[in-house]
Amino acid sequence: MSKESSGPVVVITGASAGIGAALARELAGRHASLVLLARREELLEEMAATLGTPVEVVPGDVTRRADLERALERAVARFGGVDAWVNNAGHGITRPSVEAVTPEDLDVMVRDNTRSALLGMQVVLPHFKDRGKGVLANVSSMLSRVPDVHVRAAYSAAKAALNSLTESLRFELAREFPGIRVVLVIPGVVASDFGLNALGGGPDSRNIPGAQSVEEVARVIADGLFTGPVDLYTRPEGLQRALGHLEGLGRRSS
């Protein structure tokens, strides 16, 4: 708990827009103290001024370990510790086919969606182990479970790698550190600027029929951060869709 409030202390990466910003607003309404990390300091400062809760703004790049270490240091210095760390930052890509994905494209997707989260995990885990508790949440994508949008193939692959790292960490911690909760967040299409910001451009995700609002996604994450299933699908049908995809693969002969 924070030294400045009765709520938990939560670090959110990629907090200047989209799911990260919505989660910051949702958790602020639940009296959390927040440490917000993103490259766009101005947007973080503007948001922090409206949240009505203790906020530490940390400008930084999640692909640099030193920036993530600084976020942890600032959290400990101001609030005394971290209760939850959300690796939310990520980036998409649009390529017409798997054949069109270059090695450089894949390197960028792994750097921004997998390696960055790995660095976040490695930075906060010693802190959680010292405390014997904590919540580590990695924001993935439904495309990591059901990779049915071929123009997002490299992104889907990077998020699938993130899933595997997350699940491996759960097994690793389960016996010796049962107080550390490892959550995998699996949203579907979200009404954010994700599509517009994808490398190579792409459709505005806010115009895709049925896109889930960032506010709804944030509520689901906030509700499930500290309790409930560790695979957190932001839509109720998400798990059945993933299981159906696996069952379909098992029935295929070629």
Active site residues: 155
Would you state the structure tokens that stand for residue 110, as one six-digit string? Answer: 């792994």
DSSP state of 240: H
3-state helix, strand, coil in the chain (%, to 5): 50, 15, 35
The answer to whether 100 touches 156, Cβ cutoff 8 Å, is no
Would you state the structure tokens that stand for residue 94, as one six-digit string? Answer: 């649009």
Would you state the structure tokens that stand for residue 79, as one six-digit string? Answer: 């609030």
DSSP H helical ranges for the chain: 18-28, 41-48, 65-79, 103-110, 116-131, 153-174, 194-197, 214-224, 238-251
